[in-house]
Structure 1
Amino acid sequence: MDNDNNTPAGKEQETSPRGEYFAPKLELSDSTREVFEKYSKIPPNEVLPHVYAIREKAWSIHPYPCIGLGRFLHMGIGTHRLYHTEILPRMLTGEQSYLDLGCAFAQDIRRLVADGVDSKMCYASDLQLDFLDLGYELFRDRESLRSRFIAADVFDAGSPLMELEGKIDIVDASSFFHLFAWEDQKRIARIVVKLLRAREHSLVVGRQIGNQEAGDYGQRDGQGTRYWHNAESWKKMWKEIGEEVGVKFEVEVVTRSMAEELGRAMQRPEDEKGLGMEFSVRRLS
């Protein structure tokens, strides 16, 4: 049974001397373990030691919460409500293209490829491809994966990312928009619209952190703010973008509490109204 939806990768009930964003013990969902065993061909008894070793290397580069808590192991695209009904079937035609925006290890591409998608139809981009080599090492597919990885600043109109303008059918923007302030999110949304094919059913999907009270929230490092949405503000932003570019979008959002999203022991008082948001933004015109 696939338990991605209810089993966090990190058991936050245990406290690590490295801080609240490092889980001493990791657990893998059935679907994640399947990728490592069948796609990466790692023997079952070697999977967890392998994952711990790669996490140590990644943590030494960037001690991000998603690394310490094992969130990079979730392969969230596979649990999106549209995955089995639309995303995967569209990609299996071999005629659709997919972009993982802010890819980190590009674990979602591995989920797609493990499910039969042609890796040449998958692209991934991040500001710096710090985790590219670690991704190959994690999934043991350096010689077989044919996806294109692009190092690019999403705000740079002259970056290599814009070579994909008008060529992408599905953009996966998980854990990306919520890193930025409102106006920067609108800039990103405009760029995403440019990357998408200008036709009906071009799609933006993903997950992000939000809050019941949409607004500006301080960065964890104390440097600046980021805008966390609720369902209403997320729809409002895309309505504004649609009006600017003359395109109609259908926006759907499913929310759950921060406790459900990250694990109850990780819920801090300031996160009491926090949300996990799964979204889809579909071009209708």
Structure 2
Amino acid sequence: MMDQIDPQVVPLFQGLLSLEQVYEKGREIQRKALEREFNYRCVEGFYFLRIGLRKNPFFEHIQHKKALQDGCILEVGCAFGIDGRDLVLSQGVKRENYLGIDVSRTFIDLGFELFEDKDKMENCFAVKSIGDEDWVSFVKSKLKRVDVVVATLVLHVIPKECRDFVSKVYQLLEPYQGVFIGETMGIDLPDEEPFYFERHDSPRVCHTSVSLTKLFKSVGFKRVETIFLSRWTRGGEGITATCEEDEEKVKNRARLAFIAFA
């Protein structure tokens, strides 16, 4: 598990000076999360101790823009909040200009426990479901504007709400010509339609580059760029495929990075 920890996370901790110390603390937080039966690869695979946004190949599009330094950033599905803390503590984003939301109170609370920074970062995080009718108004009440929306490994776990969520993101970004950036589990095939399946009886969706681009443009995004990253070599257990053709599609799972311009 030590190789799953990103050395760049160490400065985000208070008083922890080594990867070994971060690992031990992370193991305890992982145990507490798994005891509550979270069906998320970020917990199982120790991904919550790896920086995601800054490693996104499209990060350079926003790194030098006003949006990153002086604008407002919304992160959806922030989990334990590692990317948000990296933005605030390492990238110079103002605390009042960052909001990380997650559907899980446990994730938010364990994030505070992991980093021991609730006194400083409490206002940066909130519990909220993207399915709530007041989701857009809630975000607007917390941020004066929205220039960037981040969603790392979120879209594939919300197959039923995916289009509605992307539409809401566009609604927040369009007045400011903002950008939507993130990653999702994808299928590296030329298909025009996404692939639906189940993992541990939970519905999932894998988009192709074509289907994800079509989805974004259907709600108003003007330009979309995607790129496939590494193959998904772990986490195949618990996946239900209905036929041999679907089983072949599962083998083509890969991380799909995206950026969409409102």
| TM-score (norm. length: structure 2) | 0.82
In the alignment, structure 1 segments of 5+ residues that lack a partner are: 1-9, 11-24, 243-247
Q: Give CA-to-partner distance per residue, 1:5-31, whole Å, 9 cap, x none.
A: xxxxx4xxxxxxxxxxxxxx5532222
Aligned position for 1:138: 114
Matched-pair contact (CA < 8 Å) for 2:225–2:260: yes
Matches within 5 A, 1:1-285: 10=1, 27-36=4-13, 40-44=14-18, 45-64=20-39, 65-84=41-60, 86-87=62-63, 90-91=66-67, 93=69, 95-115=70-90, 116-145=92-121, 147-159=123-135, 160-161=138-139, 163=141, 167-181=145-159, 184-196=161-173, 198-200=175-177, 202-211=178-187, 212=189, 213=191, 214-223=193-202, 225-242=203-220, 248-259=221-232, 264=233, 266=235, 271-283=250-262
- The amino acid that maps onto 1:41 is G
Distance in 2, Cα, partners of 1:126 & 1:171: 13
Distance in 2, Cα, partners of 1:35 & 1:147: 17
Q: Structure 1 residues 191 and 266 mapped into 2: Cα distance closer, same or farther (>3 Å)?
A: closer
Matched-pair contact (CA < 8 Å) for 1:173–1:206: yes
- The amino acid that maps onto 2:4 is E
Matched-pair contact (CA < 8 Å) for 1:249–1:282: yes
SS at match of 1:104: coil
Distance in 2, Cα, partners of 1:203 & 1:136: 28
Q: Percent identity?
A: 22
In the alignment, structure 2 segments of 5+ residues that lack a partner are: 238-246
- The amino acid that maps onto 1:158 is D
Structure 1 consecutive aligned stretches of length 4 or more whose deviation exceeds 4 Å: 265-270
Distance in 1, Cα, partners of 2:143 & 2:169: 9
